[in-house]
Amino acid sequence: MTGLVTIVGLGPGDPRFLTPAAVEALAAATDLVGYGPYIDRVPEQAGQRRHSSDNRVELDRARFALDLAAQGARVAVVSGGDPGVFAMAAAVFEAVDNGDPAWRSLDIRVEPGITAMLAAAARVGAPLGGDFCSMSLSDNLKPWEVVETRLRAALNADFVVALYNPISSARPWQLGAAFKIVAEIREPDTPIILARAVMRPDERIRILPLSEVEASMADMSTVVIIGASTTKVIERPEGEAPYVYTPRFYGVRP
């Protein structure tokens, strides 16, 4: 087959953080496929076709992109952040795994981007400096029981935990339930980072102790980072945001 599918990570939103390789892939595409707001972030190009869809049709979107490529198109499937982190890369490969056998002959590439937890961490210091994990609080594709089991395991193992998809109008209770679990395991002064729309004009970042955080402070544009027992806050002069970091060493320094 002569077609090409490139799954492109657009990064956190600021075009300065879009990789040169991603820019090249977008410019070379005959067709853009993706969630509408992500498509809107790509400058229009003469002759390039744009195919927008809703945010809950990932597999349909992936199949559509693969069909276009099978017909010879050079398709860029756009994804916010990094396409391999709770995003479109997995959907495309799932469609290939369970779809038309001919799709396995397609040239499929992934162009990475800066994912939300890395952008958020860079804004406040180095909260991911030690061992960390990330997970999605959405129960659209997995049972809440699985989410809860994994969250408890990560907290008990003392990972820093980055939570994606923390809350939405359709899922208003999950983040509050997650914070109750965190409060059972972590100390009240554990640093919690709420980073909304990182590196976009409406960015808002809050650093609070666990005892003061509320689920209503987040939305679907927020990534939540839960500190480990070793995560530290460095206070700064009045009016300056603190730094947050997690040391690479664990326990007592030799």
Tens digits of residue pLDDT in 79-110: 999 999 999 999 999 999 999 999 999 999 99
Between the alpha carbon of residue 92 and those of residues 8, 62, 120, 231, the distances in Å are: 12, 5, 27, 36
Quick one: 143 and 239 in the same domain?
Answer: yes
Last residue of a domain, one of 114, 133, 165: 114
Is residue 254, in this structure, part of any structural domain at all?
A: no
Quick one: 19 and 123 in the same domain?
Answer: no
Total count of domains within the chain = 2
Our measurement of the distance from residue 170's CA atom to the centroid of its chain's CA atoms, rounded to an integer in Å, reads: 19
Mean of per-residue pLDDT scores for the chain: 94
**Burial class (CB within 10 angstroms; exposed 0-12, middle 13-18, buried 19+) of 230:** middle
In the block, residue with structure tokens 């408890």: 152
- Domain limits for position 106: 4-114
Q: What does the block give as tokens for 69?
A: 């490529």
Give the dihedral sign, CA 151/86/12/196: negative
| Cα angle 150-145-35, degrees, rounded to a multiple of 5 | 80
The mean per-residue pLDDT over the stretch 57-73 comes to: 95
Residue 115 and residue 195 in contact, taking contact as beta carbons nearer than 8 Å: no
Q: What pLDDT was estimated at residue 13? A: 86
Kindly report the pTM of this predicted structure.
0.92
C-alpha–C-alpha distance, residues 52 and 32, integer Å: 8
- HSE toward the beta carbon, residue 245, CA cutoff 13 A: 10
Quick one: 52 and 146 in the same domain?
Answer: no
Comparing 109-118, 137-146, 186-195, which segment has the lowest mean pLDDT?
Answer: 137-146
Quick one: 110 and 121 in the same domain?
Answer: no
Residue 109 and residue 28 in contact, taking contact as beta carbons nearer than 8 Å: no
Quick one: 92 and 125 in the same domain?
Answer: no
Q: What pLDDT was estimated at residue 171? A: 81
Between the alpha carbon of residue 246 and those of residues 5, 118, 130, the distances in Å are: 38, 14, 5
C-alpha–C-alpha distance, residues 224 and 211, integer Å: 15
- pLDDT above 90: residue 253: no
Beta-bridge partner residues of 75: 5, 31
Q: Give Cβ neighbours of residue 20 (< 8 Å, ≥ 6 apart).
A: none
Is residue 23, in this structure, part of any structural domain at all?
A: yes
The mean per-residue pLDDT over the stretch 30-40 comes to: 95
- What is the spatial order of strands in the sheet that 107-111 belongs to? 49-53, 31-35, 74-79, 4-9, 107-111
Quick one: 108 and 123 in the same domain?
Answer: no
Q: Give Cβ neighbours of residue 234 (< 8 Å, ≥ 6 apart).
A: 125, 242, 243, 244, 245
The pLDDT-based confidence of 252 (bands split at 50, 70, 90) is: low
Amino acid 87 reads A
Quick one: 133 and 39 in the same domain?
Answer: no
- pLDDT above 60: residue 254: no
Helices (H), the chain: 20-28, 36-40, 58-70, 88-98, 116-124, 144-156, 174-185
